[in-house]
């Protein structure tokens, strides 16, 4: 099937029947008729608006007004949405240039543009030379009118970085990205499923929260999987289907663990 | 002036180099206290001079006085009374209430050095060129035991740049205010003499300047720039480590400036002899002038710093809030400032008054109280230890109350504190069904509302686990 590299916008907006390959196009002899799937991720790119706020309203308000030579440090457990927020800011820097780098890619010097917003994710992964580069970015930031937005998995006090860099991070305005409550997660899941055009009723959401891993990335992955299976098997995303999926996932997890032990 | 003191001064003037005489001796005052037994009191303008004189010139003064009067004389040293009781300076009292922080030196600066404020420099391109931060002044610098000598020395230098001690070498740990101090000197010198050519540069930038000069073959311009300064402030000299060409350039700039009686001020994270990878000829030159240390601030000084910083934002922070912040961030001023900013931002956003509750809430972001990664194993072990049962009982099939209850509690804690699913929890507790976990959770929730002891246990365990 011919696919343009850049699908029309309507495809991205939601679950579209046209994204499926019709059954008669699949191999006629396959015992179970499985729908082949196009791997189109329908959910929109990260923005501040599609971040589920939870109890992070102050941080989000502050992020929306980032400007001047502001210095913000966001931290939180893996899966709390750090990269989502940083990407959102990187995409919507307004009229300012944005320099966005991943810490593991920083080596000698960060090319800081005057007047830009410098974004560095995962500061805990900076190499010694990367730490030097970020340190230099720090000491020239005010002079160059650069705003800094950094993130990491830990509060500054616990970062294992050069002390002169670590304390400078500690001087920034620090926000912990707080995880969502179960109710907020349910809301996030519903919203996410809706974006995919996946009709998911409350019982399914409740079951997922009760029986699945409850960190948001795991939950979203499960919704993705549920959507895929539902499309492939042409079954509605009901409770029984979710149960099958979870059992399957657990078993394959258990298998890999056993293999690991053996 | 008493005859003795004029004689004493002229004796020192003969013996000491003019620079030292002017810095240390000239500003001293002498009072006759009693005739018999004869007692003299020598007054110094600030603590730094006081200490310096005590260490280096006190014997000489005693000897001279004995010779002059022909009898034993009791000479004591003190600070000028005028400086001790100046009611004009009310902020001293605020700080003094919170902490035994010595502000006398600060007062001297306000008497003799103009106060610089950021608004004076707005849009002034020649000021921008100095790379000074207008907010870093002596006025905004809190002084305590940790930095009063350094501050007094810095003020001396600001009053007599190039002639009191050259270079002034300030060292101390990270985030203790070295940069603030030397910016304050730069700002004070500029206020005294707006035409002075002042330049602040971080050692890292100096290195890149050398590299650029090298690439663009523009060493002449580079040399000219540095040698025409009246005051060079160079920060974090330890970054010269192993950079030969930079050190060579700096060596020549250093010599040229000192020879022309231009002031150099250097900061470093350690004292000169201990700097790694620096040429001996540089290190020995750093010892020519005066080396002063900044130490980490003690609790009371940290409290004073917080109050001062809040004051700069025109916000009043009560003592208990300031103490709360100061107790949580011990090692440096920078993180103290970060914590204060977080508290202020939090209160502003939520429209709340700044009190201990608000501060505690806001500091969670800074300190990360509940940040320990909790694992199933850790929860099982903690609960087993708490109830003095074996960890293996957590996944055994025993169902006696003494074992089953802690097990249920551990299940509930895991459910509350980790993202594990019910089946995963059941699996970890001896391959139990997820409905068993659900039952355990319900039981615990039900019991805690009726059983005060259990409720307390849960509280303690949660606290322990969250660290």
The verdict on residue A18 lying in a domain is no
My answer on whether A157 and A92 are in the same domain is yes
By Cβ distance, the residue of A142, A174, A210 closest to B366 is A174
My answer on whether A192 and A207 are in the same domain is yes
By Cβ distance, the residue of A143, A168, A176 closest to B368 is A176
Question: Tens-digit pLDDT profile for chain B (467 aa)?
Answer: 688 888 888 988 888 876 677 777 887 888 877 777 788 888 887 766 777 788 778 888 888 888 888 888 888 888 876 544 433 343 433 333 333 444 444 444 444 444 444 456 666 778 888 889 888 999 889 988 889 889 999 998 999 899 888 999 999 988 899 999 999 999 999 999 999 999 999 999 999 999 999 999 999 999 999 999 999 999 999 999 999 999 999 999 999 999 999 999 999 999 898 899 999 999 999 988 899 999 889 888 999 999 999 998 889 999 999 999 998 888 889 999 999 999 999 999 999 999 999 999 999 999 886 545 678 888 999 999 999 999 999 988 888 999 999 999 999 999 888 888 888 899 999 999 989 999 999 999 999 888 888 988 898 888 788 76
Q: Does the CB of B175 have a partner CB in chain A at under 8 Å?
A: yes
In chain B, whose CA is at the least distance from the CA of A153?
A: B371
By Cβ distance, the residue of B269, B334, B367 closest to A171 is B334
My answer on whether A125 and A83 are in the same domain is yes
> Residue A171: which pLDDT band, with cuts at 50, 70 and 90?
very high
The verdict on residue A255 lying in a domain is yes
Alpha carbon separation from B61 to A214, B23, B42, B74, B76 (Å, rounded): 78, 16, 9, 11, 10
In chain B, whose CA is at the least distance from the CA of A209?
A: B421
Q: Do A171 and B423 touch (CB under 8 A)?
A: no
Q: Considering only CB atoms, which chain A residues are within 8 Å of B269?
A: 164
CA distance B125 to chain A (A): 12
CA distance B121 to chain A (A): 14
Of A141, A157, A176, which residue constitutes the final position of a domain? A176
Q: Do A143 and B131 touch (CB under 8 A)?
A: yes
Interface test with B, best of A65, A111, A176, A182 (most B CBs within 10 A): A176
For residue A98, the domain's CATH number is: 3.40.50.300
Question: What angle do helix axes A182-196 and A216-233 make, rounded to 10 degrees?
Answer: 40
d(CA B30, CA B45): 12
Q: Does the CB of B302 have a partner CB in chain A at under 8 Å?
A: no
Q: Does the CB of B433 have a partner CB in chain A at under 8 Å?
A: no
Give the closest residue to A53 by CA, choosing from A44, A66, A62. Answer: A62
CA atoms within 13 A on the CB side of B324: 21
pLDDT of residue B19: 62
My answer on whether A118 and A77 are in the same domain is yes
Overall number of domains in chain A: 2
Domain around A187:
24-45+181-261
Question: What angle do helix axes B376-386 and B452-466 make, rounded to 10 degrees?
Answer: 130
Average pLDDT over residues A154-158: 91
Q: Is B353 helix (H, G, I), strand (E, B) or coil?
A: coil
Interface test with B, best of A112, A141, A155, A206 (most B CBs within 10 A): A155
Q: Considering only CB atoms, which chain A residues are within 8 Å of B346?
A: 58
By Cβ distance, the residue of A77, A174, A212 closest to B365 is A174
Tokens 């502003």 identify what position? B348
Q: Considering only CB atoms, which chain A residues are within 8 Å of B236?
A: 164
Give the model confidence (pLDDT) of A175-211 as tens digits.
999 888 888 888 888 888 888 888 888 888 888 888 8
My answer on whether A203 and A255 are in the same domain is yes
Phi, psi of A152 (to 5 degrees): -165, 175
CA distance A182 to chain B (A): 10
My answer on whether A172 and A191 are in the same domain is no
Q: Do A62 and B424 touch (CB under 8 A)?
A: no
My answer on whether A146 and A252 are in the same domain is no
CB contacts < 8 A, A to B, total: 98
Interface test with A, best of B209, B235, B335 (most A CBs within 10 A): B335
The verdict on residue A5 lying in a domain is no
Phi, psi of A65 (to 5 degrees): -105, 15
The verdict on residue A1 lying in a domain is no
pLDDT of residue B65: 87
> Residue A11: which pLDDT band, with cuts at 50, 70 and 90?
very low
My answer on whether A142 and A70 are in the same domain is yes
Of A147, A176, A205, which residue constitutes the final position of a domain? A176
The verdict on residue A199 lying in a domain is yes
Residues of A with CB under 8 A from a CB of B: 58, 61-62, 75, 77, 135-136, 139-140, 142-143, 154-158, 163-164, 167-168, 170-176, 210-215, 218, 246, 250
In chain A, whose CA is at the least distance from the CA of B202?
A: A139
Q: Does the CB of B357 have a partner CB in chain A at under 8 Å?
A: no
By Cβ distance, the residue of A136, A139, A176 closest to B365 is A176
Q: Do A164 and B202 touch (CB under 8 A)?
A: no
My answer on whether A188 and A234 are in the same domain is yes
Q: Considering only CB atoms, which chain B residues are within 8 Å of A211?
A: 421-423, 434
Q: Do A174 and B236 touch (CB under 8 A)?
A: no
- Maximum Cα–Cα distance for chain A, whole Å? 69
d(CA B27, CA B145): 23
My answer on whether A100 and A133 are in the same domain is yes
The verdict on residue A16 lying in a domain is no
Give the model confidence (pLDDT) of A105-141 as tens digits.
888 788 888 899 999 999 999 999 999 999 999 988 9
The verdict on residue A65 lying in a domain is yes
By Cβ distance, the residue of A75, A156, A173 closest to B341 is A173
In chain B, whose CA is at the least distance from the CA of A133?
A: B204
d(CA B297, CA B136): 18
pLDDT of residue A257: 63
CA distance B126 to chain A (A): 14
Of A137, A153, A176, which residue constitutes the final position of a domain? A176
Q: Do A156 and B338 touch (CB under 8 A)?
A: yes
Percentage of residues in chain A with pLDDT exceeding 90? 26
Q: Considering only CB atoms, which chain B residues are within 8 Å of A206?
A: none
DSSP labels, chain A: ----SS--HHHHHS--GGGSPPGGGS-TT-SS-PPP------SPPP-STTS--TT-HHHHHHHHT--TT-EEEEE--TTSSHHHHHHHHHHT-TTS-EEEEEGGG--S---PPTT-EEEEE-GGG--HHHHHHHHHHHHHHTTTT-EEEEEESS-GGG--S-HHHHHHHHTSEEEE-PPPPHHHHHHHHHHHHHHHT----HHHHHHHHHHS--SHHHHHHHHHHHHHHHHHHT----HHHHHHHHHHHHHHHHHHHHHHH-
The verdict on residue A2 lying in a domain is no
pLDDT of residue B384: 93
Residues comprising chain B, all counted: 467
Phi, psi of B120 (to 5 degrees): -65, -25
My answer on whether A61 and A172 are in the same domain is yes
Residues comprising chain A, all counted: 262
My answer on whether A81 and A160 are in the same domain is yes
d(CA B128, CA B131): 5
pLDDT of residue B186: 96
Q: Do A155 and B434 touch (CB under 8 A)?
A: no
Angle among Cα B307, B134, A173 to the nearest 5 degrees reads: 55
pLDDT of residue B37: 78
- Maximum Cα–Cα distance for chain B, whole Å? 100
Q: Do B366 and A170 touch (CB under 8 A)?
A: yes
Interface test with B, best of A65, A156, A206, A250 (most B CBs within 10 A): A156
Q: Do B338 and A171 touch (CB under 8 A)?
A: yes
Q: What is the DSSP letter of B289?
A: S
CA distance B355 to chain A (A): 18
């Amino acid at each position: 099937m011919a696919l343009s590299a850049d699908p029309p916008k309507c495809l991205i907006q939601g679950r579209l029947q046209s994204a499926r390959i019709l059954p008669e196009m699949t191999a006629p002899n396959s015992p179970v008729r499985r729908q082949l799937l196009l791997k189109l991720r329908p959910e929109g790119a990260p923005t501040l608006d599609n971040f589920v706020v939870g109890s992070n309203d102050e941080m989000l308000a502050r992020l929306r007004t980032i400007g001047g030579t502001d210095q913000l440090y966001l931290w939180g457990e893996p899966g709390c949405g750090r990269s989502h927020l940083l990407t959102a800011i990187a995409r919507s820097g307004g009229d300012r240039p944005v320099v966005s780098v991943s810490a593991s890619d920083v080596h000698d010097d960060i090319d800081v543009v005057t007047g830009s917003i410098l974004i560095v994710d995962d500061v805990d992964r900076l190499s010694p030379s990367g730490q030097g580069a970020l340190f230099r970015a720090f000491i020239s930031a005010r002079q160059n009118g650069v705003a800094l937005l950094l993130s990491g998995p830990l509060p500054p006090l616990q970062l294992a970085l050069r002390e002169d860099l670590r304390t400078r991070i500690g001087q920034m305005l620090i926000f912990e990205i707080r995880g969502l409550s179960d109710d907020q997660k349910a809301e996030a899941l519903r919203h996410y499923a809706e974006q995919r055009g996946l009709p998911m009723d409350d019982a399914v959401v409740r079951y997922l929260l009760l029986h699945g891993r409850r960190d948001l990335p795991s939950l979203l992955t499960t919704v993705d999987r549920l959507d895929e299976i539902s499309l492939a098997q042409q079954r509605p995303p009901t409770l029984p289907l979710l149960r099958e999926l979870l059992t399957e996932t657990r078993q394959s997890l258990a298998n890999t663990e056993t293999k690991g032990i053996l | 002036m008493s005859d003795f003191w004029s004689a004493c001064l002229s004796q020192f003037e003969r013996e000491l180099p003019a620079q030292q005489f002017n810095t240390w001796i000239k500003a001293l005052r002498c009072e006759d206290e009693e005739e018999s037994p004869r007692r003299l009191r020598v007054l110094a303008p600030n603590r730094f001079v006081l200490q310096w004189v005590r260490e280096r010139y006190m014997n000489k003064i005693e000897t001279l006085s004995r010779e002059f009067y022909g009898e034993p004389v009791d000479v004591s040293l003190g600070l000028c009374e005028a400086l001790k009781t100046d009611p004009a300076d009310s902020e001293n009292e605020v700080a003094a209430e919170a902490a035994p922080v010595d502000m006398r030196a600060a007062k001297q600066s306000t008497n003799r050095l103009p106060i610089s404020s950021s608004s004076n420099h707005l849009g002034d391109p020649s000021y921008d060129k100095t790379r000074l931060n207008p907010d870093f002044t002596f006025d905004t610098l809190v002084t305590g035991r940790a930095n009063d000598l350094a501050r007094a020395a810095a003020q001396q230098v600001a009053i007599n740049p190039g002639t009191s001690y050259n270079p002034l070498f300030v060292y101390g740990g990270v985030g203790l205010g070295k940069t603030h101090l030397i910016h304050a000197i730069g700002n004070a010198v500029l206020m005294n003499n707006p035409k002075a050519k002042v330049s602040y540069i971080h050692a890292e930038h100096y290195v890149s300047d050398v590299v650029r000069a090298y690439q663009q073959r523009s060493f002449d311009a580079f040399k000219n720039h540095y040698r025409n300064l009246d005051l060079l402030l160079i920060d974090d000299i330890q970054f010269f480590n192993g950079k030969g060409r930079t050190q060579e350039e700096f060596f020549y700039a250093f010599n040229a400036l000192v020879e022309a009686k231009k002031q150099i001020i250097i900061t470093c994270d350690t004292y000169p002899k201990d700097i790694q990878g620096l040429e001996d000829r540089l290190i020995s030159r750093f010892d020519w002038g005066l080396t002063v240390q900044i130490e980490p601030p003690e609790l009371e000084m940290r409290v004073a710093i917080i109050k001062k910083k809040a004051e700069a934002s025109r916000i009043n922070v009560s003592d208990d809030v300031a103490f709360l912040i100061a107790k949580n961030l011990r090692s440096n001023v920078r993180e103290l400032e970060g914590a204060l900013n977080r508290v202020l931002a939090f209160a502003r956003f939520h429209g709340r008054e700044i009190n201990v509750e608000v501060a505690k809430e806001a500091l969670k972001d800074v300190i990360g109280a509940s940040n320990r990664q909790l694992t199933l194993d850790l929860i099982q072990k903690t609960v087993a230890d708490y109830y003095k049962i074996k960890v293996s009982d957590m996944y055994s099939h025993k169902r006696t109350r003494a074992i089953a209850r802690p097990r249920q509690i551990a299940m509930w804690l895991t459910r509350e504190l980790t993202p594990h699913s019910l089946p995963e929890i059941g699996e970890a507790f001896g391959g139990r069904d997820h409905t068993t976990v659900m039952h355990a959770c319900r039981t615990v929730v039900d019991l805690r509302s009726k059983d005060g002891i259990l409720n307390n246990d849960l509280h303690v365990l949660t606290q322990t686990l969250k660290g």
